[in-house]
Amino acid sequence: MATTIAILSQKGGTGKTTMTRTLSDVFGRLGLDVLAIDADPQGNLSDYFDTDPGVHPTLAEVLRGQVRAAEAVHGAVIPANMRLAEAELMLAGKIGREVTLRNALRDLKRNQDLILIDCPPTLGLLTVNALVAADRAILSTEAQYFSLQGVEQAMEVVDLARDSLNPELDLLAVVLNIVNMRTRHARQTLDALRERFGDRVCRTVIRQSIAYAESAERAIPILDYRPDRGVDYLSLAGELLRRLGRQDLLEALDELSTAVVPAGARA
């Protein structure tokens, strides 16, 4: 049975789509059956997987009940496009609208090890559906004041989903993303997150680099495009594996790091 993780942020541009794509790639290289779900009508994750823009069916058709979730899997992703925004409007008038995605994924979860859901940068019905379908949540934030406000707002939605519809939902991690730790503001932000969320905040931070945007533009995973920049995500994957109780994969992760990341970058 798959562990399902919703990756979210209240604000756009906090690196959550890159996080979803890169973790999908890393965990897949470790031998896990990983499925990514693009729950954002902008379809950025779908583009990162190099999915045909005209692909059909997508998550929109799954939420409309027109196809089974398994029929919307293309490669390693259930893609999205602007039709998903229309599907969200349709859901608004549906009884049991908050559990639509959870019900749709029930069969797929039996055949996967891990499902990662890239949530939209809003806290609407699509994000609620993702949280109700998930076992764990990861909050991604930048070292910016308004991003920290977004973390608090996102946490309110996580709490709401847990209290009303998904009591098993747990906060897996808070990740400081797209950050320059040489600045005092970034260090103060990390301290503030640790004061608020304690050990839920990952030790690993994802350092700022144009390489992530370039890899997304070329639809090439960062470990293939710039392996030296992938070291942060390999470290983050290790932390997440420990939190998920998958220490059995840590040796394989070390081997992957040795194989793909230049020695200087690892140091």
Contacts for 151 with CB less than 8 Å, ≥ 6 apart: 9, 10, 139, 141, 174, 193, 196
Query: What pLDDT is stored for residue 241 in this prediction?
Result: 98
Question: Is residue 267 over pLDDT 60?
Answer: no
pLDDT band at 9 (very low <50, low <70, confident <90, very high): confident
Q: What is the pLDDT of residues 127-147, one digit of tens each?
A: 999 999 999 999 999 877 666
Average pLDDT, the chain: 92
Q: What is the pLDDT of residues 145-180, one digit of tens each?
A: 666 777 888 898 999 999 989 999 999 999 999 888
Question: Is residue 211 over pLDDT 70?
Answer: yes
Query: What pLDDT is stored for residue 184 in this prediction?
Result: 87
Q: What is the pLDDT of residues 63-105, one digit of tens each?
A: 999 999 999 999 999 999 999 999 999 998 888 899 999 999 9
Neighbours of 264 (CB within 10 A): 7
CATH superfamily of 3-266: P-loop containing nucleotide triphosphate hydrolases (3.40.50.300)
- Spell out the domain ranges in the chain: 3-266
Q: Are 173 and 200 in contact (CB under 8 A)?
A: yes
Question: Is residue 59 over pLDDT 70?
Answer: yes
Query: What pLDDT is stored for residue 266 in this prediction?
Result: 59
Query: What pLDDT is stored for residue 187 in this prediction?
Result: 87
d(CA 98, CA 129): 5
Share of the chain above pLDDT 70, in %: 97
Q: Are 4 and 201 in contact (CB under 8 A)?
A: no
d(CA 26, CA 177): 17
Q: What is the pLDDT of residues 13-49, one digit of tens each?
A: 778 999 999 999 999 999 999 999 999 999 999 999 9
- Distance set, CA 96 to CA 45, 105, 125, 128, 129 (Å): 27, 15, 11, 12, 10
Distance of CA 148 to the CA centre of its chain: 18
